[in-house]
Protein backbone atom coordinates (compact mmCIF):
# COMPACT_ATOMS: atom_id res chain seq x y z
CA UNK A 1 0.00 0.00 0.00
CA UNK A 2 1.26 3.49 -0.83
CA UNK A 3 2.45 5.38 2.22
CA UNK A 4 0.70 8.45 0.78
CA UNK A 5 -2.76 6.85 0.67
CA UNK A 6 -4.83 6.28 3.78
CA UNK A 7 -7.99 4.38 2.78
CA UNK A 8 -9.75 5.19 6.07
CA UNK A 9 -8.67 8.55 7.41
CA UNK A 10 -10.19 10.43 10.35
CA UNK A 11 -8.89 13.92 9.54
CA UNK A 12 -10.59 16.37 7.17
CA UNK A 13 -13.90 14.57 7.60
CA UNK A 14 -17.13 16.52 7.95
CA UNK A 15 -18.77 16.40 11.38
CA UNK A 16 -22.44 17.49 11.27
CA UNK A 17 -22.28 18.48 14.95
CA UNK A 18 -19.27 20.78 14.55
CA UNK A 19 -19.69 24.54 14.29
CA UNK A 20 -16.23 25.05 12.80
CA UNK A 21 -16.06 26.07 9.11
CA UNK A 22 -15.38 23.02 6.93
CA UNK A 23 -12.66 23.38 4.34
CA UNK A 24 -13.63 22.57 0.75
CA UNK A 25 -11.01 22.91 -1.97
CA UNK A 26 -11.68 23.76 -5.58
CA UNK A 27 -10.81 20.17 -6.56
CA UNK A 28 -13.36 18.75 -4.08
CA UNK A 29 -16.06 20.95 -5.59
CA UNK A 30 -15.20 19.39 -8.93
CA UNK A 31 -15.30 15.92 -7.35
CA UNK A 32 -18.81 16.61 -6.05
CA UNK A 33 -19.98 17.69 -9.50
CA UNK A 34 -18.43 14.61 -11.10
CA UNK A 35 -19.66 12.12 -8.52
CA UNK A 36 -21.61 13.01 -5.36
CA UNK A 37 -21.13 9.48 -4.00
CA UNK A 38 -17.33 9.58 -4.24
CA UNK A 39 -17.41 13.05 -2.68
CA UNK A 40 -19.55 11.80 0.23
CA UNK A 41 -17.31 8.80 0.79
CA UNK A 42 -14.30 11.13 0.85
CA UNK A 43 -15.44 14.17 2.84
CA UNK A 44 -18.08 12.58 5.10
CA UNK A 45 -16.79 9.03 5.60
CA UNK A 46 -13.04 9.50 5.12
CA UNK A 47 -12.64 7.04 2.23
CA UNK A 48 -11.03 8.88 -0.68
CA UNK A 49 -10.41 7.70 -4.21
CA UNK A 50 -6.91 6.23 -4.65
CA UNK A 51 -4.56 9.03 -5.73
CA UNK A 52 -3.29 9.26 -9.27
CA UNK A 53 0.38 9.35 -10.16
CA UNK A 54 2.02 12.79 -9.92
CA UNK A 55 2.66 14.51 -13.25
CA UNK A 56 6.26 15.50 -12.61
CA UNK A 57 6.87 17.02 -16.05
CA UNK A 58 3.73 19.13 -15.74
CA UNK A 59 4.95 20.33 -12.34
CA UNK A 60 8.31 21.23 -13.85
CA UNK A 61 6.63 23.27 -16.60
CA UNK A 62 4.47 24.97 -13.97
CA UNK A 63 7.48 25.90 -11.82
CA UNK A 64 9.48 27.24 -14.76
CA UNK A 65 6.57 29.32 -16.07
CA UNK A 66 6.13 30.89 -12.64
CA UNK A 67 9.83 31.78 -12.51
CA UNK A 68 9.68 33.23 -16.02
CA UNK A 69 6.61 35.39 -15.37
CA UNK A 70 8.09 36.46 -12.02
CA UNK A 71 11.08 37.97 -13.84
CA UNK A 72 8.75 40.28 -15.76
CA UNK A 73 6.63 40.83 -12.64
CA UNK A 74 9.66 42.21 -10.83
CA UNK A 75 10.32 44.59 -13.74
CA UNK A 76 6.68 45.67 -13.96
CA UNK A 77 6.54 44.79 -17.63
CA UNK A 78 4.41 42.42 -19.74
CA UNK A 79 5.72 38.99 -20.67
CA UNK A 80 6.53 38.60 -24.41
CA UNK A 81 3.62 36.14 -24.71
CA UNK A 82 1.26 38.82 -23.46
CA UNK A 83 2.65 41.26 -26.01
CA UNK A 84 2.31 38.71 -28.82
CA UNK A 85 -1.39 38.22 -28.02
CA UNK A 86 -2.07 41.92 -27.47
CA UNK A 87 -3.00 41.50 -23.79
CA UNK A 88 -3.18 44.90 -22.13
CA UNK A 89 -1.85 43.75 -18.77
CA UNK A 90 1.24 43.00 -16.70
CA UNK A 91 1.95 40.18 -14.23
CA UNK A 92 0.35 41.30 -10.98
CA UNK A 93 2.48 41.96 -7.92
CA UNK A 94 0.91 41.21 -4.55
CA UNK A 95 2.45 40.31 -1.20
CA UNK A 96 0.09 37.34 -0.87
CA UNK A 97 0.83 35.86 -4.30
CA UNK A 98 2.98 32.99 -3.05
CA UNK A 99 0.39 32.16 -0.40
CA UNK A 100 -2.36 32.09 -3.02
CA UNK A 101 -0.22 29.81 -5.19
CA UNK A 102 0.20 27.24 -2.41
CA UNK A 103 -2.93 25.08 -2.61
CA UNK A 104 -1.78 22.69 0.15
CA UNK A 105 -0.72 25.15 2.85
CA UNK A 106 -2.48 28.33 1.80
CA UNK A 107 -4.38 29.32 -1.30
CA UNK A 108 -7.02 31.98 -1.74
CA UNK A 109 -9.86 31.33 0.72
CA UNK A 110 -13.35 32.58 1.49
CA UNK A 111 -15.71 31.65 4.33
CA UNK A 112 -19.13 31.13 2.76
CA UNK A 113 -21.40 32.05 5.66
CA UNK A 114 -24.68 30.49 4.42
CA UNK A 115 -23.08 27.02 4.35
CA UNK A 116 -20.20 27.53 6.83
CA UNK A 117 -17.84 26.15 4.17
CA UNK A 118 -14.31 27.53 3.83
CA UNK A 119 -13.73 27.46 0.08
CA UNK A 120 -10.10 27.40 -1.05
CA UNK A 121 -8.06 27.20 -4.24
CA UNK A 122 -4.45 27.53 -5.36
CA UNK A 123 -3.90 29.73 -8.41
CA UNK A 124 -0.99 29.68 -10.87
CA UNK A 125 -0.79 33.35 -11.75
CA UNK A 126 -2.52 36.71 -11.71
CA UNK A 127 -2.27 39.52 -14.24
CA UNK A 128 -3.50 43.07 -13.86
CA UNK A 129 -5.02 44.94 -16.80
CA UNK A 130 -5.22 48.69 -17.40
CA UNK A 131 -8.78 48.77 -15.97
CA UNK A 132 -7.45 47.60 -12.61
CA UNK A 133 -9.05 44.18 -13.07
CA UNK A 134 -7.39 41.01 -11.84
CA UNK A 135 -7.00 38.39 -14.58
CA UNK A 136 -6.93 34.77 -13.39
CA UNK A 137 -4.30 32.71 -15.24
CA UNK A 138 -3.84 28.95 -15.22
CA UNK A 139 -0.95 26.95 -16.67
CA UNK A 140 -1.55 23.69 -18.53
CA UNK A 141 0.89 21.27 -20.14
CA UNK A 142 0.30 18.38 -22.53
CA UNK A 143 1.76 16.73 -25.61
CA UNK A 144 -0.61 16.08 -28.48
CA UNK A 145 -0.77 16.43 -32.23
CA UNK A 146 -2.68 19.42 -33.52
CA UNK A 147 -3.75 22.57 -31.76
CA UNK A 148 -4.60 22.59 -28.07
CA UNK A 149 -8.06 23.88 -27.15
CA UNK A 150 -10.75 23.73 -24.45
CA UNK A 151 -13.24 21.85 -26.61
CA UNK A 152 -13.07 18.34 -25.10
CA UNK A 153 -15.90 17.30 -22.77
CA UNK A 154 -13.48 16.40 -19.97
CA UNK A 155 -12.07 19.94 -20.01
CA UNK A 156 -15.20 21.19 -18.25
CA UNK A 157 -13.06 20.73 -15.15
CA UNK A 158 -10.60 23.35 -16.44
CA UNK A 159 -13.45 25.81 -16.99
CA UNK A 160 -14.92 25.19 -13.54
CA UNK A 161 -11.47 25.67 -12.07
CA UNK A 162 -11.18 29.10 -13.66
CA UNK A 163 -14.70 30.06 -12.54
CA UNK A 164 -14.10 29.03 -8.92
CA UNK A 165 -10.89 31.09 -8.82
CA UNK A 166 -12.69 34.10 -10.29
CA UNK A 167 -15.48 33.67 -7.72
CA UNK A 168 -13.00 33.41 -4.85
CA UNK A 169 -11.19 36.61 -5.76
CA UNK A 170 -14.46 38.49 -6.21
CA UNK A 171 -15.60 37.33 -2.76
CA UNK A 172 -12.31 38.67 -1.39
CA UNK A 173 -13.09 42.13 -2.72
CA UNK A 174 -11.06 42.14 -5.93
CA UNK A 175 -12.27 43.56 -9.20
CA UNK A 176 -11.94 40.53 -11.48
CA UNK A 177 -11.92 40.42 -15.27
CA UNK A 178 -14.60 38.06 -16.65
CA UNK A 179 -11.96 36.77 -19.07
CA UNK A 180 -9.20 34.54 -17.73
CA UNK A 181 -6.37 32.89 -19.67
CA UNK A 182 -4.91 29.41 -19.97
CA UNK A 183 -1.21 29.34 -20.82
CA UNK A 184 -1.26 26.00 -22.65
CA UNK A 185 2.12 24.33 -23.33
CA UNK A 186 2.14 21.56 -25.93
CA UNK A 187 5.22 19.32 -26.09
CA UNK A 188 6.68 19.00 -29.59
CA UNK A 189 7.29 15.38 -30.66
CA UNK A 190 8.23 15.77 -34.35
CA UNK A 191 11.86 16.77 -33.77
CA UNK A 192 14.56 14.59 -35.35
CA UNK A 193 16.19 13.90 -32.00
CA UNK A 194 15.61 14.42 -28.30
CA UNK A 195 19.06 15.97 -27.59
CA UNK A 196 18.19 16.09 -23.87
CA UNK A 197 15.76 18.94 -24.54
CA UNK A 198 11.97 19.02 -24.63
CA UNK A 199 10.48 21.95 -26.54
CA UNK A 200 6.94 23.32 -26.38
CA UNK A 201 4.55 25.34 -28.45
CA UNK A 202 2.80 27.79 -26.12
CA UNK A 203 -0.70 29.04 -26.81
CA UNK A 204 -2.69 31.60 -24.85
CA UNK A 205 -6.38 30.61 -24.66
CA UNK A 206 -8.92 33.14 -23.34
CA UNK A 207 -11.95 31.92 -21.44
CA UNK A 208 -14.89 34.02 -20.25
CA UNK A 209 -16.03 32.48 -17.01
CA UNK A 210 -19.49 32.37 -15.49
CA UNK A 211 -19.44 31.50 -11.81
CA UNK A 212 -23.20 31.79 -11.28
CA UNK A 213 -23.31 28.06 -10.49
CA UNK A 214 -20.92 28.25 -7.52
CA UNK A 215 -23.35 29.48 -4.83
CA UNK A 216 -25.96 26.84 -5.64
CA UNK A 217 -23.34 24.11 -5.77
CA UNK A 218 -22.02 25.06 -2.32
CA UNK A 219 -25.54 24.71 -0.93
CA UNK A 220 -25.89 21.32 -2.64
CA UNK A 221 -22.55 20.28 -1.14
CA UNK A 222 -23.65 21.28 2.36
CA UNK A 223 -26.95 19.39 1.96
CA UNK A 224 -24.97 16.35 0.83
CA UNK A 225 -22.59 16.56 3.80
CA UNK A 226 -25.27 16.86 6.48
CA UNK A 227 -27.31 13.98 5.07
CA UNK A 228 -27.04 10.47 6.49
CA UNK A 229 -28.07 9.04 3.14
CA UNK A 230 -25.50 8.02 0.55
CA UNK A 231 -26.02 10.08 -2.64
CA UNK A 232 -26.13 8.53 -6.12
CA UNK A 233 -23.07 8.00 -8.28
CA UNK A 234 -22.07 10.29 -11.10
CA UNK A 235 -23.09 9.16 -14.59
CA UNK A 236 -19.55 8.39 -15.76
CA UNK A 237 -17.72 7.56 -12.52
CA UNK A 238 -15.18 4.81 -13.20
CA UNK A 239 -14.51 4.39 -9.48
CA UNK A 240 -18.17 3.61 -8.75
CA UNK A 241 -18.32 1.24 -11.71
CA UNK A 242 -15.25 -0.56 -10.42
CA UNK A 243 -16.67 -0.90 -6.90
CA UNK A 244 -19.94 -2.23 -8.29
CA UNK A 245 -18.12 -4.72 -10.52
CA UNK A 246 -16.10 -5.97 -7.53
CA UNK A 247 -19.22 -6.39 -5.41
CA UNK A 248 -20.96 -8.29 -8.21
CA UNK A 249 -17.96 -10.54 -8.82
CA UNK A 250 -17.35 -11.31 -5.16
CA UNK A 251 -20.97 -12.34 -4.63
Give the CATH number for residue 80. 3.90.320
Mean pLDDT, the chain cut into blocks of 10 residues (251 residues total) = 68 94 97 97 94 80 95 97 96 96 92 98 97 97 86 92 98 98 90 82 95 98 97 94 91 66
What pLDDT, on the 0 to 100 scale, is given for residue 4? Answer: 66
Give the global pTM: 0.92
> Is 58 within the bounds of a domain?
yes
> Is 9 within the bounds of a domain?
no
What pLDDT, on the 0 to 100 scale, is given for residue 135? Answer: 98
What pLDDT, on the 0 to 100 scale, is given for residue 53? Answer: 73
> Is 15 within the bounds of a domain?
no
> Is 119 within the bounds of a domain?
yes
> Is 49 within the bounds of a domain?
yes
CB contact at 8 A, 58 and 64: no
What pLDDT, on the 0 to 100 scale, is given for residue 1? Answer: 44
> Is 181 within the bounds of a domain?
yes
Instruction: Give me the helix-helix angle, 213-226 and 156-171, nearest 10°.
Output: 100
What's the structural domain count of the chain?
A: 1
d(CA 120, CA 110): 7
> Is 40 within the bounds of a domain?
yes
> Is 8 within the bounds of a domain?
no
Domain hosting 147: range is 22-228+235-250
246: exposed, middle or buried (C-beta count within 10 Å: 0-12, 13-18, 19+)?
exposed
What pLDDT, on the 0 to 100 scale, is given for residue 9? Answer: 83
Amino acid sequence: MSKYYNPQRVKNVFDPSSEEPFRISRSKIDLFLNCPRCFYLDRRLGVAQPPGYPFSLNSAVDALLKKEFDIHRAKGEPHPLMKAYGIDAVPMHHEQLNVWRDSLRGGIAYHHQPTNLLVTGGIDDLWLNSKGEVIIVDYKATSKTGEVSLDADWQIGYKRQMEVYQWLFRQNGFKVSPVGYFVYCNGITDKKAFDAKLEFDIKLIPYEGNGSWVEGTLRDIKNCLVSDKMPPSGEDCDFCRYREAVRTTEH
